[in-house]
């Protein structure tokens, strides 16, 4: 599998940093080549313009921004989903990583 870039967006970019660390560990254990990072909602456009992003996951606290992000991501073909609240709360990096990969795969096949 080619390197996958996973961008997480939350309100300040801080609350997802622990989740990013856990996702990176899960990715290493499974032997995946990934670039996983978190940004605040206000920094998202800058990163989308300057980086090839394969999937964008929104933190549950910014779920209200989904429609806005869908409009911005549609022309780029970047899939988007809200992180499962239970997985976010438990900081389950493995499950959120799988959510990202499933979304990439689904987008590739559609």
As given in the structure block, the two tokens for residue 104 are 């990439």
Q: Give the active site residue among 10, 41, 62, 97.
A: 10
Active site residue 35: no
**Beta pairing, strands 80-82 & 4-10:** unpaired
Residue 59 DSSP one-character state? -
Tell me phi and psi for residue 13, to 5 degrees.
85, 0
Give the three-class secondary structure for 69.
helix
Active-site residues, by number, are 10
């Amino acid at each position: 599998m080619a390197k996958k870039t996973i961008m997480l967006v939350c309100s300040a970019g801080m609350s997802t940093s622990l989740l990013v660390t856990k996702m990176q560990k899960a990715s290493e254990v499974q032997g995946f080549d990934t670039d996983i990072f978190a940004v605040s909602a206000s920094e998202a456009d800058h990163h989308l313009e300057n980086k090839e992003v394969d999937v964008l996951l929104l933190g549950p606290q910014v779920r209200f921004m989904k429609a806005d992000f869908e409009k911005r991501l549609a022309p780029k073909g970047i899939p988007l989903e809200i992180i499962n609240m239970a997985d976010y709360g438990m900081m389950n990096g493995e499950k959120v990583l799988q959510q990202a990969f499933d979304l990439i795969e689904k987008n590739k096949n559609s």
